[in-house]
Structure formats: C-alpha cells, structure tokens
Amino acid sequence: MQTLLDFWAGYGSTVVFAMVNSFFALSAYAVLSTGVLSFATVAFAAVGGFLAAQMVGKFGMPLPAAVALAGLGGGLASALVAAAFLKLESHWMALASLALVLITRVVALNAPALTGGVNGLVVPQRISFLQLLVLLAVVALVFHRLSRSWYGLAARAVREDPAVASTMGVSPYRIQFTAFLISGVVGGIGGAALAFTLQFISPETYFIGLAFTMIASTVLGGSFHWVGSLIGAAVFTALPVTMQAIVPQIEDVAKGVALLLIMIFLPRGLIDPRAWGLRRAARARQVAGGATQAEPHG
C-alpha cells in the first residue's frame, strides 16, 4: 500500500496527463482509422476547452455538464471542418488541418472576451481522478463497441481501399464524415479535460505541441486498434518524465529519437492486430510443414 502511495506521489500527475492525452490520441485515431490524417483535433479541443472553462467560470455550470457541452461544441466544430475539408485529397487535408491549428491560435489570441487572449483563463474547477477515469472508460467503451460494429468494419474497408469499399455500397464520404464527428466530440471532451486538469489555459495550450504529441501517440501505439491510442498516450507521456529522471535536459531529444526509431522499426505501432494474424499464419504453416514431413515415417 505504501509503495502504491509513493508511486502516486511520484507519478500521479503523469498518469493523469496520460489519461488526458488519451482523449486526443483517440480523437486522432477516430479519423485515422478511416484513412484521414487530421490535426484538426487541436481546434476541436480548443473549442471544448474554452467553452467548458467559460461555462464553469462565468455561469457556474457543474463540471460534468460543462464536459458534455464541450463534447457537443467539438462535434459541431467538426461537422463544419468535415464539410469544408472532406472534398480535399488526403495530402491536402493534412495540410489544411495543420493550417487550422495555426489559425485556431490566432483566433484565440484575438478573441479575449471568449478566451482571455494572451493572458489566458484561470479555470476555477479541477476534475477529480475518479471523474477522469469514468470519462475515459465511457469513451473507451464507445470505441470498443464501434470497433465491433458495422461502422468499424466499414471504416477499415474505407481505410484500406476506398474505391473497393464504395463498390460494395459503402460511401467513403459518409464514413469519414462520421469519423470526423466522433473525432470532434472526443476532441472537445479532451480539451475540457485538459482545461480542468491544468486549471489554466491560453491559446498556447491548444497549439502545435498538442498536435504532435497526439499524432505521435496514435502512431506509436498503433493506429489499427483503438487500444493503441491509450498505450501510445501512456508511453509518450511517461517517456519524457522517465528520461528526465535519468538524463535531464535531453528529454525532448529522447522524445524525437523515440519517434524516429518507432516509425522506422515498428511502422504499424505497438498494437497491431494484423501482425498477430500473420504470426499465427506463419506458425500454422510451420506446424503443417512439420506434419507433412512427419507423415512418411507414420
């Protein structure tokens, strides 16, 4: 028990941040799992974060309601983004979403009435560990159900080969639009969770750094299964902290090197269901090969 408490004292905030980052990673996964690379999650998070912070700060809304509203706000924002971006070819969509991240910060800086501008906003409430855990569990459950649903099947088909999927009656546009909506809701919730964890947010909170942590987490964990996003967020949040304990100063360098190594040597991420299937097939072949060799003797 004592060791558990010690662990919590030392790494409690790392665990909390890993959980918050999980929302962003899942939001990026939601669109990536239909073949869309988008950084727009950061914009959805900003909408959710500032909305929730203002609702709690100015109007005294209870925290859970503010989080729900943040999800709604993120979802609305994502509908607009999807309508504008989904007609673009995939490279261009990635670029457009990156531009959206830049614009989000400029807009936030120039709307001090809503965001506090350069001075940022103090968020008067803090999300408890239990609340955060429940929130993440609910979101994870939704992803779990989705992955074993018609939507999940269609999403995989659209990602692997949109043309073939469309000749089977699946509309890639519709699936990717839905993916954006999911991404927006989860991103908005994540933005609120971040606001209620940091208790201070500013336009810098929702910027490039968040975009890269998020994409890195999703790719590191594996973008072919939703669990990968959770694992990736955990590793990518814990890695700099542990690095700092061993060799301070170079934690960022270590982060970059980790990204490089993973992409080069493990391009499909830590969690990769396809690799398991391939391994199983290879084992089966080996067994079958062994059996045929054994036959002449038996």
Partner 1 sequence: MQLFLEQTINGVALGSLYALFGVGFGLVFATLGILNAAHGCYASWAAIVGYYAVESVGLPFPVAILAGVIAGGAIAIIVDQIAFQPLRDRGTGLLGALITSIGFWIILDSLAGFATGQQSLAFPAASYPSGMTSIAGLRVPTMQIVVIVALAVCTVGIYLLIQKTRVGAAMRAVGWNPVSASLGGVNSRMVILLTAFLAGATSGLAGVLGGIATSNVSFTLGEGLMLKGFAAVVVGGFDDVRGTAIAGICLGVIEVFVAQYLSTSLRDGITYSLLLIFLVVRPRGLFGSASFQRA
Partner 2 sequence: MVDRTLEKGAPLLETRGVAKRFGGVAAVDGLDMSVTQGSVHGLIGPNGAGKTTMINLITGLFHPSEGAIRFAGAELSARPPHEIAALGISRTYQNVRLFSGMTALEQVMTGCWLKRGVSLWSSFLGPAARARWRETRAQAMALLERVGMADRADELAETLSYGEQRRIEIARALGSAPRLLLLDEPTAGMNHAEAHAVGRLVHELRDGGLTVLMVEHNMGLVTEFCDSCTVMNFGRLLARGEPRACIADPAVQEAYFGRKNDADRIKSLR
Q: Which residues lie near partner 1 (CB under 8 A)?
A: 37, 84-85, 87-92, 94-96, 98-100, 102-103, 106-107, 109-110, 212, 215-216, 219, 249-250, 252-253, 255-260, 263-264, 267
Q: Where does this chain touch partner 2 (CB under 8 A) — which range of 108-116, 166-174, 232-240, 249-257?
A: 166-174
Q: Is 121 helix (H, G, I), strand (E, B) or coil?
A: strand
298 binding partner 2? (CB under 8 A): no
Return the number of other C-beta atoms located less than 10 Å from residue 103's C-beta: 11
286 binding partner 2? (CB under 8 A): no
Element (H, E) at 168: none
Q: What is the smallest separation between the CB atom of 23 and partner 1, expressed in angstroms? A: 20
Going by C-alpha positions, the residue among 17, 19, 15, 37 that lies closest to residue 28 is 37
Q: What is the smallest separation between the CB atom of 267 and partner 2, expressed in angstroms? A: 14
84/284 with CB nearer partner 2: 284
140 binds, among partner 1, partner 2, none (CB under 5 to 8 A by kind): none
Going by C-alpha positions, the residue among 248, 238, 136 that lies closest to residue 192 is 136
Q: Six-digit token pair at 179?
A: 């993916």
What does residue 201 show for φ and ψ, rounded to 5 degrees?
-130, 150
Return the number of other C-beta atoms located less than 10 Å from residue 47's C-beta: 26
Rounded Cα distance, 100 and 97, in Å: 5
Binding site for partner 2 (CB under 8 A): 142, 145-146, 148-151, 153-154, 156-157, 160-161, 163-172, 178, 224, 273-274, 277-278, 280-281, 284
